[in-house]
Amino acid sequence: MALSEKDLLASVPTGLYIGGKWVEGHGEGRIAVEDPATGKTLVEIANANEQDALAALTAADETQAAWARVSPRERGEILRRTFELVRERAEDFATLISLEMGKPLAEARGEVVYGNEFLRWFSEEAVRISGRYGSNPEGTGRMLITQRPVGPAFAITPWNFPLAMATRKIGPAIAAGCTMVVKPAELTPLTTLLLVKTLEEAGLPAGVINVITTSTSAATSAPVIADPRLRKITFTGSTAVGVKLLEQSAKNVLRTSMELGGNAPFLVFEDADIDAAVNGAMLAKMRNIGQACTAANRFIIHDSIADEFAQKFAAKMDALQLGRGVAEGTTCGPVINEKARANMQRLVSATTAEGGEIVAGGEAAAGDGYFFKPTVLDHVKPGSTILKEEIFGPIAPIVRFKTEEEAVRLANDTEYGLVSYAFTQDLKRGLRLAETLDTGMTGLNSGLVSNAAAPFGGVKQSGLGREGGLEGINEYLETKYVMIPDPLA
């Protein structure tokens, strides 16, 4: 049975989780976690300072050797049990995600399925960590190659997918035998806290996962990154912060995984199924109220079909119902805070000043919370400000093109390279685009790419490494090679 909102919030631990204990933080005051649909405080939680962060690293470091010796099967079974518990409590997790982040409940339920799948996937991957043994080319010796956990890792996650961004890191770390300090975003930390409580119930030993919540991310994280006991940092967030963390990581030559910002192009060709493209556009743009790294950021549409596409897309955007995520009938929530809403207004004003036209929305919605109307901007000029920035909200700018070459040039004209989307019914063109679009992932006639079984990640300034898929666990493993003289000689 799902808990009431009040009981659910009361069930979320509000402390730091260090060495298997829930403790208070030594930072200034407590952190008020807000409901972005009302601006009201949901819960207050502990605030960690540097001393707490280093205590969390000490717990992770002291547990590392023992945890690496726990059998892969046992590590996998802890993940599997957690997966089952999250599935049983799916409605509670979905409600909590919706309350702290603002997305509609139906989408939050989708995130629970998606995010939980990383726990199941990596429970199955834990027992497939393998090595090899064979002769060297000269025949004079044997080469033994094994994989070992990289060691204590530090995970920093963003606010937009409170469950999935945590499980995508915690799942492979546990499977690989790594201990971890997790620092969720201060805007949406509650889901991670509930997840860790669930891991504890599933039998995760003390010290394997440690959680710190803090209002002073930079100051609290820096000593952990500078500490020689740390061996790995895994970050999901903006490119600007990722670059700073890479700089800090260079000092101790840390292993790094970086899932950074995006500026996804969404291409529709003259031979596309336009209705399918519009449905794909809604998914790629409006998932998470446009606040996803995978969000379609630039709609690059063939001139001959652009009028029809813009009109059908605008009609669907206009039909979305704004509201609190947990309210009946809501199909679009608020953006995360007032700063994000002001940024939407700035981008619309810049685009119209640069020649774009508003065909849907274009302004903030009246009333409480941080709502901005779903917006479509047509006839946006190449080079416009909005095409260069990660929008991270419900605005869809449309640029028109005439040739495939022009479309690909426009699509690749960005320092980002996370995901691209292309709609065409011409198979050869589709495959050509998959090769010419400079992104880590492409949705071919699909507005959604995320899947726990697929390697998620970007090229260029969108990041380093992959999460999920067969590749995901490698980010938490080191290769060890042992040379052995020919035992038959």
237 binds ligand NAD (CB under 6 A): yes
Whole-angstrom distance, CA of residue 252 vs CA of residue 260 = 21
- Candidates 115, 280, 356, 463: give the one binding ligand NAD (CB under 6 A): 463
Helices of type H across 105-163: 105-125
Pick the closer one to ligand NAD by CB: 17 or 392. 392
Binding mask 278-297 for ligand NAD (x = CB under 6 A): ---------------x----
Per CB under 6 A, does 443 bind ligand NAD? Answer: no
The answer to the question of residue 167 lying near ligand NAD (CB under 6 A) is: no
Residue of 390, 362, 411 whose CA lies nearest to 292: 390
Query: Across-strand partners of 468?
Result: none
CB of 296 to ligand NAD, least distance (A): 13
How far does Cα 116 stand from its chain's mean position? Answer: 13
Residue 211, SS3 per DSSP: strand
**186 three-state secondary structure:** coil
Residue nearer to ligand NAD on the CB measure, 165 or 360: 165
Tokens 């190659």 belong to residue: 145
* Active-site annotation holder among 34, 107, 200, 259: 259
Residue recorded with tokens 């707490």? 52
For residue 428, give the amino acid letter: K
Distances (CA, A) of 343 to 288, 370, 394: 17, 11, 11
Nearer to ligand NAD, 14 or 424 (CB): 14
Q: Which residue has the tokens 């960005």?
A: 414
Residue 185: CB partners within 8 Å, gap ≥ 6? 157, 158, 159, 162, 237
Q: Which of 218, 453, 483, 484 binds ligand NAD (CB under 6 A)?
A: 218
Residue recorded with tokens 């490494």: 465
Number of residues that bind ligand NAD (CB under 6 A): 27
Nearest position to ligand NAD, beta carbon: 237
Token pair for 70: 């726990």
Nearest distance, CB of residue 316 and ligand NAD, angstroms: 24
Per CB under 6 A, 82 contacts ligand NAD: no
Q: Smallest gap, in angstroms, from Cβ of residue 93 to ligand NAD?
A: 18
Q: Does position 384 bind ligand NAD by CB under 6 A?
A: no
Nearest 5°: the CA angle 161, 167, 169 is: 105
In the list 117, 125, 390, 404, the residue contacting ligand NAD (rule: CB under 6 A) is: 390
Interatomic CA distance for residues 18 and 256, integer angstroms = 23
What is the smallest separation between the CB atom of 449 and ligand NAD, expressed in angstroms? 11
Positions in 338-357 near ligand NAD (CB under 6 A)? none
Radius of gyration of the chain (CA): 23
Given the complex with ligand NAD, which of 17 and 159 has the nearer CB atom?
159
Could you tell me the smallest distance in angstroms from the CB atom of residue 358 to ligand NAD? Answer: 25
Q: Report, in Å, the least distance between residue 372 CB and ligand NAD.
A: 16
124 Cβ neighbours under 8 A, 6+ residues apart: 76
Catalytic residue (choose from 100, 107, 293, 404) = 293
Q: Which two tokens stand for residue 132?
A: 């090899």
Q: Please, are residues 221 and 237 in contact by the beta-carbon 8 Å criterion?
A: no
What are the φ and ψ backbone dihedral angles of 324, each rounded to 5 degrees? Answer: -65, 135
* Binding span for ligand NAD by CB under 6 A among 26-34, 121-129, 213-221, 343-351: 213-221
**At its nearest, how many Å lie between ligand NAD and the CB of residue 432?**
25
Residue carrying structure tokens 């390279």? 417
Q: Does 337 bind ligand NAD (CB under 6 A)?
A: no
Tell me: does residue 159 bind ligand NAD (CB under 6 A): yes
Binding to ligand NAD (CB under 6 A) within 238-277 occurs at 238, 241, 244, 259-262
Residue 233 C-beta: closest distance to ligand NAD, Å = 9
The yes-or-no answer on residue 259 being catalytic is yes
Identify the DSSP state of 467. Answer: B
Kindly tell me which of 217 and 252 has the beta carbon lying closer to ligand NAD: 217
Residues 179-198 that bind ligand NAD (CB under 6 A): 183, 185-186
Phi, psi of 173 (to 5 degrees): -65, -50
List residues with catalytic annotation. Answer: 259, 293
Residues that bind ligand NAD (CB under 6 A): 156-160, 165, 183, 185-186, 217-218, 221, 236-238, 241, 244, 259-262, 293, 390, 392, 418, 458, 463
